[in-house]
Structure 1
Amino acid sequence: MKTHLLILALVITTSASSQNETYTLKNISLNDELSQYGVVNVKDNVVYYSRYKVSSFGTVERNSGNQQIFTLYHGEMTENGDIINTKEFKSSDRFVFNSSTAGFSKDGKYMYVTTNEKKRGDVYKYDDKTRNLRIERGEYVEGKGYIKFKPLHFCDQRYSYGHPSVSPDGQYLYFTSNIPSAKGPTDIFRVKILGNNKYGKPENLGVKLNSPRKEMFPYLSSDNTLYFSSDRAKGIGGLDLYKAEIGPDGNYGVPELMPAPFNSEADDMCFELLADGKSGYFTSNREGGKGEDDIYYFTLD
């Protein structure tokens, strides 16, 4: 994520065509000069997203290494795509450094969170310079929200795991990692969800989908299309959005670079379709935004 010039604007709305379809993009009112990214819709118009953790004094909180801390927020999605009544995710204070890029089971019972390896109260002998990421799963309890977070058993402390996304049928958890079987700095993997917080063996999605560069932020739509971001060769610039169809045999098609207005010369990531299949969100730090990373709402006209 890069910092670019702050351009003041309340709402930026543009229209652009993509493969004979016209989309309208809106830089939502939630965005400011800070970084907001990674919207995920749980259910009943409740959404989660990531941004810098802000203190009661209105300043960005930092860890002991003077690095800005990311945390999760949640809010309500309006009919025009804005996100209102936002609050910090109340379980985020149990993590020492960051909590971000969440994924949810279809029924909303389980929440998967990207966080740093070290947590408050952990006995691991790591100092504050440790930045490996892992995925933890929490369970929704009525009246208490998402609690009982535990790391997934396959997360090795020597490597990073993040950007969790559950397949619509609930059978697989997709994620990003740099474990040794990765073909590049980070690859997209999936793991079978067996139930009772048990999982199969992580499997690399293969060289057709993963490149020698970074693959990040996987998301599988209900029509069996995998969306992700990559800085692979022949892109437009920075991280670009790609999609790959999954056939009836389970094989992945060749990734296709998504055209404008979804891609730009900057970083474009965190794509998600809403239930209607014609609207959704993605994140970009493209020219004309309000801050470091902005959330864009798109609709098919």
Structure 2
Amino acid sequence: MKKINILLFFILSGFSLWAQNKFTKVADNLFERFEYVKAAKEYSLLVEKGKSDGYVYKQLGECYYNMFNTVESAKWYAMAIKTEQDAETYFNYAQMLKANIKYEEANTQMKVFAAKAPTDQRAIAFNKNPDYLPSLIEKDKLFEVKFLDINSEKSDFGAALYGDALYFSSARKDSGKKYGWNEEVFLDIYQSNLKADGSFSEPTPVSELNTTYHEGPVSITSDGNTIYFSSESFNSKLYEKNNAKRLKFGQVHLFKATKKNEKWDAITAMPFNDKKYSTSNPSIDKEGKTLYFSSNMPGSIGGTDIWKVQVNNDGTYGTPENLGDKINTPGDENFPFITDDNVLYFASNGLTGFGGLDVFIVDLKKNDFPINAGKPVNTEKDDFALTYNTTRKLGYLSSNRSGEDHIYSSIPICKGKIKVVVKNLNDDSLLPNSKVLILDENNNVIGTQVTNENGEVIYDVDCEKIYIIEAYKDGYVTAKTSLEKLTGGTIVVNISIKPIDVIITETEIILNPIYFDFDKSNITKQGAEELDKLVYVMSQNDTLKIYVKSHTDSRGDDKYNLNLSDKRAKSTVQYVISKGIDASRISGKGFGETELKIDCKNNCTEEQNAINRRSEFLLVK
């Protein structure tokens, strides 16, 4: 794939030699030089002249595979497999078919690949779950993805935000030496600054790091003083010669620079670079102690693997370590990025995905297996170089889903869980079969569940939102609680609901006193709890009709108190009706201070006044 090899562009390919001949010599030389555009033209001429065979068809498939022209690549691979081919050709063909959303055909080719290479990790994974796609498509969305305005018409990828500066690689410059792989100019490192409104400034090249060769992507330490970046080994005069073909074969290598006077200075090559293999795509951890990178150095499981190396306090480096076969496959793993909380993002075409490169996530603290990031991060095309700034909560993704490598914002969708446990307020016993509602901050019901035998329900929710929980059960008073904004994880909410204790006589329903605030007629929280008991009793016996008498204390003049008590009676009636009781079954009237509970006149205490401000519930029927 272009994204893997764009920074491995001078590694000699190991294609089969059995079908090379004098007719393929020109095309083969171009292929060896990674000039795939020109090589494809030469191989195509052989097809036109009738001098093609399975080897030529395969080479055409390989050329377009490396240029990620999925339609042309699949077309020529289809021709190639009419003759016997090596296992990797069938795997690559399957990848191209998946990229063209031809999954059944891709599975057919994967079965051939698995039969030819049964011990290959990719074959084993496929045989375990050949029908993985539906579950992958149905995964919960983990990120919101949006195209960035800083993209050019050429390749732009590998973006990462450090402070307010976004660094990325681009082939956007108007002129310069072109790269035969895809006939674009060589990549340079660019910087764009994040503005207050969330947009970015016009990108500018980081001139002190750029050379006539490819550069990027980069990684910067948390103090902002050290940058690691990929460039070509020609810059450190490390390469191999092929005198017969007058070629120099270089590698991609890692370099380091330090900041001086706001410029990057003192560029040095990493000591573990070697002319026989590549080291690229750096990512330094928060402490600046571990550098992650991709390489095909000895000890690699596949084409390119994810590696790490210790950065010592004295500026020296430890021995590079392969991250092992939980992460690396016989395919290619590339573009590692380590977050501040030790979560590793990387791209792979060897793990189970949609086709091409997919982004995978693994929490290194938990020693888990990688998970596919799912859609919309991953598509049938190449998706890679996912980075995330934990301080800004901003992420960036690279993808060729539009036909060219471009940069997208990739913002994680925060998910959390609310576990609600409903209990009896009196004895703390669990209450199964309770109804639990979850509401948004505008009191819109967004979910309803019934508790299990342990009195529990669990809701999956989005973060950074306010939620309200209500719990109901026949014979109990409804309880409600508001929650703070979630930031992820699972929170446990214990709700204790009170059994309804109502006394019903021949003449009235006796509740605990319903009190009103002084000079007010609105229903208080305490009043609502008591009225819910009345609602429950009336809902259980639809023949009951209630007459509400509302009273005031003796303060204020008679007329004012009569009016105030009438408002309280109407508020009480309206509350009961709002809970689903038919309006014909409840009515009420205010009696002011004409029927004081405690006749203390103007010498009443606050407690006596509160007792006089009450409502009574008489049985009409």
Does the Cα contact within 8 Å between 1:28 and 1:81 map onto a contact in 2?
A: no
Residues 87-106 of structure 1: pairs in structure 2 closer than 5 A: 87-93=204-210, 95-106=211-222
| Structure 2 counterpart of 1:292 | 404
Which letter maps to 1:224?
A: N
Matched, 1:195 2:313: yes
What residue is the counterpart of 1:12 in the other structure? Answer: none
2:167 corresponds, among 48, 53, 60, to: 48
Residue matched to 2:336 = 218
Structure 2 match to 1:35: 155
Return the letter of the residue paired with 1:292: E
Look up the equivalent residue of 1:85 and give its one-letter code.
E
Query: Is 1:134 matched up with 2:253?
Result: yes
Q: What does 1:256-271 align with in structure 2 at a 5 Å threshold?
A: 256-271=371-386
Tell me the CA shift for residue 92 of structure 1: 3.2
TM-score, with length taken from structure 1: 0.83
| 8 Å CA contact retained: 2:239, 2:249 | no
1:86 is matched with which residue: 178, 200, 203? 203
Aligned mate of 1:107, from 223, 226, 245: 223
SS at match of 2:327: coil
- What runs of 5+ residues in structure 1 fail to find an aligned partner? 6-16
In 2, the alpha carbon distance for the partners of 1:103 and 1:81 equals: 22
Question: CA distance change for structure 1 residues 60 and 192 in 2, over 3 Å: closer, same or farther?
Answer: same
Q: Which amino acid aligns with 2:259?
A: Y
- How far the C-alpha of 1:168 sits from its partner, in A, is 1.5
The 2-side partners of 1:26 and 1:220 are apart by 22
Q: Which segment drifts farther, 211-220 or 73-82? A: 73-82
What secondary structure is seen at the aligned counterpart in 2 of 1:194?
coil
Correspondences of 1:125-274 after superposition (within 5 Å): 129-143=248-262, 145-247=263-365, 252-274=367-389
> Are the equivalent residues in 1 in contact too, given 2:296–2:303 (CA < 8 A)?
yes
Distance in structure 2 (CA, Å) of the matches to 1:183 and 1:62? 32
Q: Which amino acid aligns with 1:262?
A: V
> Secondary structure of 2:178's partner?
coil
Tell me the distance in 2 between the aligned counterparts of 1:33 and 1:47: 18
Counterpart contact for 1:18–1:261, Cα < 8 Å: no
Q: Using the alignment, how far apart are the partners of 2:308 and 2:283 within structure 1?
A: 9
Q: 1:20 to 1:235 in 2, by over 3 A?
A: closer
Distance in 1 separating the partners of 2:318 and 2:368: 24
Aligned residue identity for 1:295: I
Residues matched between the structures, number: 277
Name the % identity: 26
Structure 1 residues 36, 64: CA separation in 2 closer, same or farther (over 3 Å shift)?
Answer: closer
One-letter amino acid of the structure 1 residue matched with residue 167 of structure 2? Y
Summarize the Cα distance change of 1:167–1:190 in structure 2 as closer, same or farther, 3 Å threshold.
same
SS of the residue aligned with 1:140? Answer: strand
Distance in 1 separating the partners of 2:344 and 2:387: 10
Which AA in structure 2 matches 1:231? Answer: N
Is the partner of 2:185 in helix, strand or coil?
A: coil
| Structure-2 change in CA distance of 1:189 and 1:32 (3 Å) | same
After TM superposition, the structure 1 stretch with the greater mean CA deviation from structure 2, 68-77 or 236-245, is 68-77
Report the Cα distance in structure 2 between the residues aligned to 1:170 and 1:52, rounded to whole angstroms: 29
**Structure 1 residue 196: Cα displacement:** 3.9
Q: Secondary structure at the match of 2:311?
A: strand
Give the equivalent residue in structure 1 for 2:175: 59
Shift of 1:225: 1.0
Q: After superposition, what is the alpha-carbon deviation per residue over 1:8-42, rounded to whole angstroms, capped at 9, x for unaligned?
A: xxxxxxxxx99555743221111132000001122
Aligned to 1:116: 232
Cα RMSD for the two superposed structures: 2.7
TM-score normalised according to structure 2 size: 0.42
Q: 1:132 offset after TM fit, Å?
A: 0.6
Query: Once the 2 structures are TM-superposed, how far is the Cα of residue 124 of structure 1 from its aligned partner?
Result: 6.4
Distance 1:23 1:165, change over 3 A: closer
Counterpart AA for 1:146: W
**Residues 96 and 116, structure 1, Cα contact 8 Å, conserved in 2:** no
Conserved 8 A contact 1:22-1:300: yes
Larger Rg computed on CA atoms: 2
**Paired amino acid for 1:284:** S
Flag the 1:42–1:206 CA change in 2: closer, same or farther, 3 A: same
Q: Which amino acid aligns with 2:347?
A: S
CA distance in 2, matches of 1:99, 1:118: 12
- 1: CA distance between counterparts of 2:141 and 2:374? 11
Q: Secondary structure at the match of 1:83?
A: coil
Within 2, Cα distance between the matches of 1:280 and 1:133?
26
Distance of 2:254 and 2:142 partners within structure 1: 37
Q: Label 1:141 to 1:261 Cα distance change in 2 as closer, same or farther (>3 A).
A: same
CA deviations on 1:61-112 (whole Å, 9 max, x unpaired) are 326997731110011123565432311111134x341111111111111111
2:193 aligns with one of 53, 63, 76 = 76
Structure 2 letter corresponding to 1:46 = A
Partner Cα distance (1:285, 1:111) in 2: 26
Q: Secondary structure at the match of 2:312?
A: strand
**Runs (5+) with no aligned partner, structure 2:** 3-66, 71-136, 414-621
